Structure 1
Amino acid sequence: MTSYQSIVDQLETLAIPYEIVNHPPALTTEEADAFIEGKEGVRTKSLFLTTKKKNAYYLVIMDDSKRLDMDKFRDLAQTPRLRLGPPELIQEKLGSQPGVVCPFDLINNTDQDVQLYFDRAILAEPIQTFHPGENTKTIFLSTDDLLKFLDAINYPYQIIDL
């Protein structure tokens, strides 16, 4: 499992600045938003999706205020029917669990078989927020630094319009 400390260690190794806000456990995006109200940064949603046969995997990063149009994403990704990935598959592919999945978990996906997609609109935001391995913390970092992290671990990503 990706731990908060391993994420922080990796960011510090890469000299990527970040800010952490500690808060009570957030079980929904609404709760998480309330704990960080007034702080600059787009609230993200990280969705781990898989095909019906569980032979293709996707991590979609988008603004948490948007709803994912699964049909549109399926067409953009040129993939068959999709569903949310079950907890055991999230653990296997990302070393994470539902509710705290984030792009930092891709460091655990050594096969790089999880395709990463960003909604173009979210990348226009200067600051991104995620739960870094646990739901009692929210991490804030610049969008450029998030992409720097992905480049440092050689993880490819695609930008799409959702």
Structure 2
Amino acid sequence: MNETSEGVSDLSLYELVATTLDELTIPFEIVEHPPALTTEEADGYIEGIEGVRTKSMFLTNKKKTTYYLVIMDDQKRLDMEVLKEITEEKRIKMASTDSLMEKMKLPTGVVSIFGLLNNEEKDIKVYIDKEITEEKRMSFHPNVNTKTIFLNTEDVFKFLDSFGYDYSIVEL
């Protein structure tokens, strides 16, 4: 079993997600697979299963005063100029691994909406690409890269709402 730099096991990171979804009565399908370090690798393990493959990016502004979680189709490329307009920031970049560990208590390669469970300040702004909200199901890493979880799109919003996260559906 792998451990993060904080000494938290992959199993307990996943169990928090599964337990939370069960408590919210959100049904999900889980697929176990070897560690996937890229979305392309993960896609190979979940081929043929219905649901849009998402990528989640953890970003920050220049001064590291605001953090963003951007969720979109993993085949799509993020246009940073469009995101800067949406967020009204002059500069946006990928957040550091230290910021990711501080804000979501996650290592790189497993960022998803489920990392918000670890964001005690609830200060991450969530942006979801409108295109994927039209799909029936979405897939994410459940805070580990050895599993992929599928859930209905409406339940993604139920999850976010249950923790009081504001999210914006935007055209990226």
**1:113 paired residue number:** 123
Q: 1:142-153 residue pairs with structure 2 within 5 A?
A: 142-153=152-163
1:22 pairs with one of 32, 57, 71: 32
Q: How many residues matched?
A: 162
- The answer on 1:126 being equivalent to 2:136 is yes
2:82 pairs with one of 72, 85, 88: 72
- Secondary structure of the 1:111 match is coil
CA offsets 1:33-67 (integer angstroms, 9 cap, x no match)? 00000110100010000112111110000000000
Misfit runs of 4+, over 3 Å: none
CA RMSD in angstroms, aligned pairs only: 1.1
Q: Which amino acid is 1:15 matched to?
A: T
Unaligned runs of 5+ in 2: 1-7
Shift, 1:80, TM fit: 1.9
TM-score for the superposition, normalised by structure 1: 0.97
Q: Which amino acid is 2:105 matched to?
A: G
**1:55 paired residue number:** 65
Percent identical: 51
Q: Which amino acid is 2:131 matched to?
A: A
Shift, 1:110, TM fit: 2.4
The CA distance in 2 between the partners of 1:79 and 1:109, in whole Å, is 22
**1:83 paired residue number:** 93
**2:165 paired residue number:** 155
1:5 pairs with one of 15, 23, 29: 15
The CA distance in 2 between the partners of 1:130 and 1:64, in whole Å, is 10
Shift, 1:111, TM fit: 1.6
**2:5 paired residue number:** none
Shift, 1:7, TM fit: 0.4
